[in-house]
Amino acid sequence: MVYRTESLNKESCEDFAAAFAQGAGVTFSDAYYYDDMTYFANHSSGDTLSVDYRDSSYTYRLGTPLAVSEGSEAELRGLLAQLGIAVPEGAAFSQEDPDMFQFTVDFLPVGDVIYGGELCCRVLDGLLGQVENHLLALTPQRGESLLPKAEAYDRMTSGVFDGAVTFASLQPLEATVTACTITYQSDTKGFYQPVYQFTVMKGDEPFAEVLIPALQ
């Protein structure tokens, strides 16, 4: 299945940031524009917000970090609510490492919207300092046939993927593929599409994650 994300342009991104700032109780006095995102900043308070045009995902760095005592799901939800950030009920909560707490949804229907992706809370020394929100509101578009896994593997080994030149320059002479899963990725046209994710190891060490579009 292919989904439509909530994509933005320069103008709608400014509206998005204004609504976010109001919910979080902050202001952004400066904006820096790029081809695929806008970076908003308040250099006095230290608050920053970078917003991706492709799918409205964003990273918010708090100028004044919030204290975290327990690191429980309820506490993190409460702190996010203080910032005007809602997490759908039914999202799975986990602690990925001592400094990162994560909410994950896997195509969760909420009313007329389907949510997918994850939201990460970065906590350092007991303070919530950064929120990386990739919880996407998705609209189903159409069903598509998937590329056979073997063909996707052939494309990877033939170097037919984004980043292949850089990958080859690293000379992974002893690299091996240890896993292949299907995940989703936003494209530049505002669609959320399936991709094969190949995990590549070099010896005993993780080397790269290679993404191959999964649609026929």
| Contact between 177 and 153 (Cβ < 8 Å) | yes
pLDDT (tens digit, 9 = 90+) per residue, 178-212?
A: 899 999 999 888 899 999 999 988 878 888 888 99
Question: What is the β-pairing status of strands 92-97 and 58-67?
Answer: unpaired
| Contact between 128 and 122 (Cβ < 8 Å) | yes
Query: Which residue, 198, 115, 116, 113, is CA-closest to 149?
Result: 198
Average pLDDT, the chain: 92
| Contact between 138 and 107 (Cβ < 8 Å) | yes
Separation of alpha carbons 65 and 109, rounded Å: 32
Amino acid (one-letter) located at 140 = P
pLDDT (tens digit, 9 = 90+) per residue, 43-78?
A: 999 999 999 999 999 999 999 999 999 999 999 999
